[in-house]
Structure 1
Amino acid sequence: PRLQIGSNVFEISAENARNHLLQHPWIAEAKVIRKLPGRVRIEIVERKPVALVALDQLYLVSEQGAVFKRLGVDDPVDLPVITGIASERFYDDFEYRKAILLRSMALLHDYEGAGLSKREPVSEIHFEGANGIELFIGDDGMNVRLGNGQHRQKLRRLRQVLERLTKENTRPSYVYLDNVRSPERVTVRLP
């Protein structure tokens, strides 16, 4: 029988109830515990969406990097969108999917760690194939090219550049941190 108010606690399968709860896309973890004489305790951990991934449609991505639900009308949309992904490969190749999602989550984590997320929220993480990753940030969608590798250091450098330009009351239209020959070099375009 289904778990309902008034159900006999001895007729309830905690495992079946747990499995039923886990079928809901927003539930990441669930525990169902019998509390004798006549109660059942349910503990759930809800998924927290931190990004959207653009495939054939938009899908919610949890902070663990799990794609858990197609975007619905009542779902949050003010999240970074992961773009530039080969949809067919994403569906068919587990390692590719895992790499894209884990890189995206690590990048968002490092972006927050660099102290940028409140000031310049990420609107898009774009995968450029061999050219690495670029971000679009802030209300105006400033383009930030990170290229491949050393993202944490590049994000710290980005923060320094933006802080300096803010003191000068100017805002770049793009910041490129993807110079392979001179990784410490930053290219900035001012309006």
Structure 2
Amino acid sequence: MNQSPGEAGQCCGMWLGLRVQPVWCLYRKSGIINRPSSFQAERSEKMFTGKNIFVLTSAILIFLHVSVWIQDNHAFSVREIRIAGASLVTDEEVLTAAKIDISSPIMEANVETIRKRLLRGLPQVMDVRVSRIFPSTIRIELIERDPIAIILDNGIWGVDSDGVLLPRFSARHGLDYPVITNIRLQKYVPGEKVDDTGLTSLVRFLGELRTLNPALYSRISEVTIDDMIGVRLIMLDYNVPVLMGHERLLKKCKDLEIAWDFLLNSRKAASIKYLDLRYRDQ
């Protein structure tokens, strides 16, 4: 009778009174058969980790060498400053506020520090973006405040729709804005928000009017406000006063535009002393 080696071993063990298992079973249970594959996996993992450490270390060293080379290389010094978005301020004012050291290494130019200097030194600027353009250029992009009116009080001052006071205006800024004439600014400095209820109402109204009806906005020469009359407009054509009151100002502006076009087309505007739109159903 033919027997396999395993069966023969078992029979021999039984004859001797011993419990014998085949050798291949012992190797399997002890894990010796699986050892070569697990050993290779562990070795591969160690090699992979070693490669990662080598690559990371090499990258850090390269970065450090490049940084030192850039700082020592004059080709990476600041040689040009590009300014965009400047209309209320001059390039000279921007450069003075930025305090950028020309010919210094471009890596030493801290863009956030420059940005804070510009916002602190230029009240006309609402926001600014500063960036480095390698090898040797700093770019400054200004977002200026948008004047909505001019205030006459011991000089010509700008004000935006948020009520923030802007520095003195001159002819180079363009003076094609409505003029506010009854606001006092003694205690305010450029860059501050004017804490005046009347001015806040006026600039908000003018901002909305310029957005909704820029044609009528451009026809307004002067604006005032007081407790009794409310808002009073002076039209650019013929200096005709328009009494607006305190409420429904934008709705009244639609009526004003229709009436004013009629008066101009009929050539009667010059004979009008004033228009009173303070009351309903006029």
TM-score range, shorter chain: 0.7 to 0.9
Distance 2:136 2:184 in 1: 52
- With the length of structure 2 as denominator, give the TM-score of the two structures: 0.54
- Distance in 2 (CA, whole Å) between partners of 1:95 and 1:149 is 22
Contact 1:59 1:67 in 2 (8 A): yes
Instruction: Give, in whole Å, the separation in 1 of the partners of 2:265 and 2:237.
Output: 19
List per-residue Cα deviations over 1:51-107 (Å, max 9, x = no partner).
11133433111344321112346443332111222546x74xx7842x334322332
Which moves more between the two structures, 129-138 or 99-108?
99-108
Identity of aligned residues (%): 24
Q: For residues 194 and 140 of structure 2, what CA distance do their matches in structure 1 show?
A: 34
Partner of 2:273: 173
Q: Does 1:133 align with 2:231?
A: yes
Residues of 2 paired with 1:170 and 1:73: CA distance? 33
Matches within 5 A, 1:36-51: 36=134, 38-51=136-149
Equivalent residue for 1:31?
129
- 1:68 maps to 2:166: yes
CA distance in 2, matches of 1:166, 1:70: 35
User: Pick from 105, 109, 114: which aligns with 2:203?
Assistant: 105
The letter of the residue matching 2:274 is Y
Please tell me whether residue 9 in structure 1 is matched to residue 106 in structure 2: yes
**Gaps in structure 1 of 5+ consecutive residues:** 186-191
- What's the C-alpha RMSD, in Å, of the aligned pairs? 2.9
Q: Which runs of 5+ in 2 are unaligned?
A: 1-97
CA distance in 2, matches of 1:32, 1:109: 29
Between Structure 1 and Structure 2, the one with more helix by share is: 2
Compare CA radii of gyration and give the structure with the larger one: 2
1:33 to 1:148, Cα distance in 2 relative to 1, 3 A: same
Render the CA deviation track for 1:144-169: whole Å, top value 9, x for unaligned.
00011110111111112123333433
**TM-score of the superposition, structure 1-length normalised?**
0.76
Name the SS for the 1:173 alignment partner: coil
Tell me the secondary structure at the aligned position of residue 164 of structure 1.
Answer: helix
Bigger relative CO (Cα 8 Å, ≥ 6 apart)? 1
Aligned residues: 177
